[in-house]
Amino acid sequence: MLREYIMLEYRPLAEQMKIKFDLERIIDDWIFFCFFIGNDFLPSLSALDIGEGSLDHLINFYKKCLPQMDDYITLEGQIFWDRAEPFIELLGKHEHQVFINRVKTLDAQYHDAKNLVTFDSNSMKSTVGQFSVEDKNKFIQKQIKDKIKDKKVKKCASLFAKHKQKNYKKFQLLKKFDEDFEESNKDGDSFVQYKSLLSKFKKVRVTQFEKDSKHMQNQDEDETLHSVLSDIREEFFSDLNPEDIPNSDISDVSESEIVQEGEAMLKQMEQEVTIDSKIDMQKKQSESAIEKNHNFMKEFVKTYKEDSNEAKRNYYKSKLNFDVSDGAGKVKLHKLLYRYLEGLQWVLYYYYKGAPHWRWYYPYHYAPMISDLGAGIVDAFLGGKNTITEFKTDVHCNANPKPYTAFQQLLCIFPIKSLRVFLPPEYL
Dump pLDDT digits (tens) for 101-157.
Answer: 766 665 555 544 443 333 333 333 333 345 555 666 666 667 667 666 666 666 566
36 vs 420, higher pLDDT: 36
Using pLDDT thresholds of 50, 70 and 90, give the confidence band for residue 98: confident
Q: What is the pLDDT of residue 162?
A: 47
CA 284 – CA 291 distance, rounded (Å): 11
| Spatial separation of the C-alpha atoms in residues 351 and 340, rounded to whole Å | 17
Q: pLDDT digit string (tens) for 202-242? A: 666 666 666 555 555 455 556 666 666 666 655 556 665 66
Q: Is the pLDDT of residue 305 over 60?
A: yes
Give the Cα separation of 348 and 84 in Å (integer). Answer: 14
- Is the separation of the CB atoms in 43 and 363 below 8 Å? no
User: When comparing pLDDT for 256 and 25, which is higher?
Assistant: 25
Rg (CA), the chain: 40
DSSP 298: H
What count of residues does the chain have?
Answer: 428
Closest CA to 46 of 397, 371, 402: 371
**Residue 204 burial by Cβ neighbours in a 10 Å radius (0-12, 13-18, 19+):** middle
Q: What are the residue boundaries of the structural domains of the chain, listed by start?
A: 2-121+321-397, 163-253
Please report, as a single letter, which amino acid is at residue 283. K
Asked if residue 293 has pLDDT above 70, the reply is yes
Instruction: Please give the pLDDT value at position 142.
Output: 72
| The pLDDT of residue 128 | 39
pLDDT of the residue at 29? 96
Residue 397 CA: distances (Å) to CA of 341, 358, 391, 412:
19, 9, 11, 14
Report in angstroms the alpha-carbon separations of 168 from 129, 156, 201, 242.
46, 10, 16, 12
pLDDT, one tens digit per residue, over 32-81 is 999 988 788 898 887 888 877 888 999 999 999 999 999 999 999 999 99
Number of Cβ atoms within 10 Å of the Cβ of 156: 20
Question: Phi/psi of residue 45, each to 5°?
Answer: -60, 145
By CB atoms closer than 10 A (0-12, 13-18, 19+), residue 240 is buried
Percent of the chain whose predicted confidence (pLDDT) is above 90: 25
Predicted local distance difference test score (pLDDT) of residue 223: 66
Is residue 92 over pLDDT 50? yes
Q: Give the tens place of pLDDT for each residue, 232-244.
A: 655 556 665 666 6
Give the DSSP letter of residue 16.
G
Residue among 40, 58, 25 nearest 343 (CA): 40
pLDDT at 250: 59
Which range, of 65-69, 251-255, 329-333, 408-412, averages the lowest pLDDT? 251-255
Q: pLDDT by residue (tens digit) across 152-202?
A: 666 566 655 545 556 665 566 665 666 445 554 555 656 666 666 666 666
Report the C-alpha gap between 212 and 418 in whole angstroms: 76
The contacts of residue 376 (CB under 8 Å, 6+ apart) are 85
What is the per-residue pLDDT for 339?
93
Q: What is the pLDDT of residue 349?
A: 95
Distance CA 254, CA 257 (A): 5
Q: Is residue 346 within 8 Å of residue 356, measured between CB atoms?
A: yes
User: Do 320 and 369 meet the contact criterion of CB atoms below 8 Å apart?
Assistant: no
**Helix H or strand E encompassing 338:** helix 327-352
Helix (H, G, I), strand (E, B) or coil at 43: coil
Instruction: Compare 122 and 418 and report the one with higher pLDDT.
Output: 418
DSSP 256-277: HHHHHHHHHHHHHHHHHHHHHH
- Greater confidence (364 vs 160) lies with 364
